[in-house]
Amino acid sequence: MSARAPRVIIAGAGTGGLCLAHGLRRAGIEVVVLERDRHRTGGLQGYRVGISPNGARALRACLPPQLYALFEASTGDAYDGMLMCTERYRELLALPYAELPGGGDDEHNVSRATLHQVLLRGLTDVVHFGRTVTGYAENQDGTVTVHADGGADVTGDLLVGADGANSRVRPRLLPGAGHTSTGLVGIGGRAPLDMRTLELLPGGPSSGITLLFDRHGGVGITHVMRMRWDDEHVPRTGIEPRHAAALASPLGRELLAADTTTDFVSWGLTVPAHWFPDGPPSRDDTPGVFADVGRLTSGWDPRWQELVHRSAPESAVVIDIRTSDPLPDWTPGPVTLLGDAAHTMTPGRGAGANTALRDARELRDRLVRVRDGELDLRTAVGEYEALMRRYSAVAVRESLEFLNDDVARRSPAAQAVATTVQRTGMRLVNHVPALRRRIARGMQRVRDSEFV
């Protein structure tokens, strides 16, 4: 087979699309990214994303080494563990990360906005902003022509739909593959990290990640993000020399000038949609969003209420939590999918970005073999799609199970029983180290293992 590197067009400069773009560029494969947002910071909320060992492996494989070093330097302090408690801040289960396989070493806490700023470094000539992909046509010669607002059509050998949960590419490629609403709504916000905010967290000043289980079935979450730079964006003294060097490099200085992220606490609340008599709030009505959270959590510890009130109005996020329907098999062609565009999942396992990153690595590896003449393009795409369908199905299913969407359909009496069972179970596990380790391993499985 003669070697010929394909020309790849990526729809969407998000987590997965940018990781793939780096991987292809490093491999000398021509790539163009078409992004809907008009500029580098468009549409980015600065919530925390947990990058698992799976996700970190993909980033290490795709990013140039100095950019991977900058990724590591741009992550927040690692967490010592996870605390689960009641809405009144009473401990149910504490999982020290030392009990997790790998000791949590390869877990990275990132601000989504910062991660995107890192991933955009070195791709200025590849990413085209203000270009919304609207459709595509497959050509007789096997190529694909992509239609996008804001400029001319673009033709290549492969279109990768990495355009997120509301993909324009997926419905054209797989008309039958939809999403189902879980009946749950997620609301989130961010408060600046200071001494007072730390006192408001369930774990107090040593908090990392906390889950709060409300007796009526709502679930809260808090994350602390301590960056390796201060509020003036100056690297802190005392950080590891390798991180200091990465932040002092030209790429690091560029990042610190472009990214606005400083230390923060992010929180989220997941509740059944029917708890909003007039329907879930609009993200644009920020006072309404935070007022709704205050009302829905009026019985919670007053420190939670204060945390919500200290949050910046512009940080409000409202999400209708959806999950992909199982993907059908399809015949590989010049168009494929990656990340949320292929497999939207609930935030239950923190696996969405990590699965998108793994997709990027798996697809990149196979396109390198096309470049080297070992595989033809259709075979490479087909192999990637078969593998991606398998592992993403597990991630979608387990993310849904962990979210416990039954709560959206339970009667108050059934919920009372479920709460008692849940709390008793967690308290029991909390006293048995072997059970705690088992739970910790189960929680990591989707995010860490290679499955297949």
Ligand X SMILES: Cc1cc2nc3c(=O)[nH]c(=O)nc-3n(C[C@H](O)[C@H](O)[C@H](O)COP(=O)(O)OP(=O)(O)OC[C@H]3O[C@@H](n4cnc5c(N)ncnc54)[C@H](O)[C@@H]3O)c2cc1C
Q: Say if CB 113 and CB 45 are below 8 A apart.
A: yes
47 binds ligand X (CB under 6 A): yes
Q: Say if CB 330 and CB 385 are below 8 A apart.
A: yes
Could you tell me how far CA 20 lies from the centroid of its own chain?
16
| Minimum separation from the CB atom of position 214 to ligand X (A) | 18
CA distance 177 to 220: 31
| Minimum separation from the CB atom of position 17 to ligand X (A) | 5
Segment contacting ligand X by CB under 6 A, of 87-95, 248-256, 337-345, 396-404? 337-345
What is the β-pairing status of strands 219-225 and 209-213? Answer: antiparallel
448 binds ligand X (CB under 6 A): no
Closer by beta carbon to ligand X, 17 or else 202? 17
23 binds ligand X (CB under 6 A): no
Closer by beta carbon to ligand X, 215 or else 283? 283
Segment contacting ligand X by CB under 6 A, of 117-125, 159-167, 190-198, 372-380? 159-167
217 binds ligand X (CB under 6 A): no
User: Which amino acid is present at 391?
Assistant: Y
**How many other CB atoms are found less than 10 A from the CB of residue 240?**
11
188 binds ligand X (CB under 6 A): yes
Q: How far apart are the first and last CA of the chain?
A: 28
Residue with tokens 């409202």: 318
Closer by beta carbon to ligand X, 104 or else 339? 339
CA-only gyration radius of the chain, Å: 22
| Minimum separation from the CB atom of position 110 to ligand X (A) | 9
Closer by beta carbon to ligand X, 419 or else 444? 444
CA distance 227 to 434: 33
Segment contacting ligand X by CB under 6 A, of 5-13, 67-75, 135-143, 196-204? 5-13
| Minimum separation from the CB atom of position 420 to ligand X (A) | 29
| Minimum separation from the CB atom of position 48 to ligand X (A) | 7
Q: Say if CB 402 and CB 349 are below 8 A apart.
A: yes
Closer by beta carbon to ligand X, 34 or else 363? 34
43 binds ligand X (CB under 6 A): yes
Residue 334 burial by CB count (10 A; 0-12/13-18/19+): exposed, middle or buried? buried
Segment contacting ligand X by CB under 6 A, of 32-40, 152-160, 209-217, 307-315? 32-40
Enumerate the H helices of 297-351 as residue ranges. 302-309
- Neighbour-count burial for 136-165, b at 16+ CB within 10 Å, e otherwise: beeeeeebbbbebeeeeebbbbbbbbbbbb
Closer by beta carbon to ligand X, 34 or else 316? 34
Binding mask 125-144 for ligand X (x = CB under 6 A): -------xx-----------
Segment contacting ligand X by CB under 6 A, of 47-55, 213-221, 254-262, 419-427? 47-55
123 binds ligand X (CB under 6 A): no
DSSP state of 374: S
CA distance 273 to 275: 5
CA distance 109 to 131: 30
Segment contacting ligand X by CB under 6 A, of 68-76, 340-348, 377-385, 417-425? 340-348
**Positions in the binding site for ligand X (CB under 6 A):** 11-17, 34-37, 43, 47, 49-50, 132-133, 162-164, 168, 188, 317, 319, 339-341, 347, 350-354, 356
